[in-house]
Structure 1
Amino acid sequence: MDSRFEDFVASVVLLFKSHPTSFAADYLAKQLIRSACSSALNFGEFEGAKSNRDKANKLRITLKELRESLRNLNIQIKSKLLEAEEIKNIKQENDELIRIVVTLLKKYEQE
């Protein structure tokens, strides 16, 4: 599972291999990279957490960062900084990771 998060982050980083050309594009690209990386790093923390309470907390942070990443991608599409077709796979993986984290979070919040 951890590698899916790493692959997701790598795809975001590769998306911005070349430097964005406007202030807004640069700002949103950097923020997207930060939130995507944070989701992967916090998921790694989840995997190493000892208590279910700590696991749930790390999953909540992971979920927050994944949702921020998805919102950022949507904003970039709507403002024509990115093409929807160009990032279709990234958005799909982002959505699938959100679903996985929500499922895990339900499990650890119940325990």
Structure 2
Amino acid sequence: MKDEGGKELRDLRARTKDFALRVVRLYQALPKGDGVAQVLGRQLLRSGTSVAAHYREACRAKSNPDFINKLEGGLQELDETDLWLELLGDAGTLKSSRIKLLRAEVDELISIFVTMIRKIKSRG
């Protein structure tokens, strides 16, 4: 999960924060006069920024079960974020290329979180 200096944890901490900032910027780019876009955007903003918060909480976990619980919370937020991105794309609110990039990052973060959870669970 991490090397002796905690490098992997720090890298993922920065990556989840960067993801949150990308979600914030996408929200800021949504049309202000489109009520549906704003409602979906607020949901996206909440779930997308929560991923970094869940990961930071996991880094402070006192036990493996607590660590897993926090990561699983992050997984739920990632899945929800993917839904809001999908809906924004299907509604034609933003360019699909911008949404595709964020959805690709969602998929990668899900894979990372799932791998971390499996490693911890396999240790017993």
The alignment's TM-score, normalised by the length of structure 2, stands at 0.83
Match in the other structure for 1:6: 17
CA distance in 1, matches of 2:35, 2:92: 14
Secondary structure, in 3 states, of the residue corresponding to 1:49? coil
> Percent identity between the aligned chains?
36
Question: Is 1:108–2:109 an aligned residue pair?
Answer: no
Higher relative contact order (CA 8 A, sep 6+): 1
- Provide the aligned length of Structure 1 versus Structure 2: 111
The answer for unaligned runs of 5 or more in structure 2 is: 1-11
Match in the other structure for 1:65: 77
User: RMSD in angstroms over aligned alpha carbons?
Assistant: 1.3
Match in the other structure for 2:6: none
CA distance in 2, matches of 1:37, 1:22: 22
Q: After TM superposition, give the deviation of residue 26 of structure 1 in Å.
A: 0.6
The alignment's TM-score, normalised by the length of structure 1, stands at 0.92
Match in the other structure for 1:43: 55
Match in the other structure for 1:75: 87
Structure 1 residue ranges, 4+ long, deviating more than 4 angstroms after superposition: none
Q: After TM superposition, give the deviation of residue 109 of structure 1 in Å.
A: 2.6
Contact between 2:20 and 2:49, CA under 8 Å: does it hold in 1? yes
Q: After TM superposition, give the deviation of residue 82 of structure 1 in Å.
A: 2.1
Structure possessing the higher radius of gyration over alpha carbons: 2
CA distance in 2, matches of 1:25, 1:90: 17
Secondary structure, in 3 states, of the residue corresponding to 1:17? helix
Q: After TM superposition, give the deviation of residue 15 of structure 1 in Å.
A: 1.2
Alignment-mate amino acid for residue 26 of structure 2: L
* Residue from 92, 95, 99 that aligns with 2:107: 95
CA distance in 2, matches of 1:95, 1:101: 10
CA distance in 2, matches of 1:67, 1:13: 17
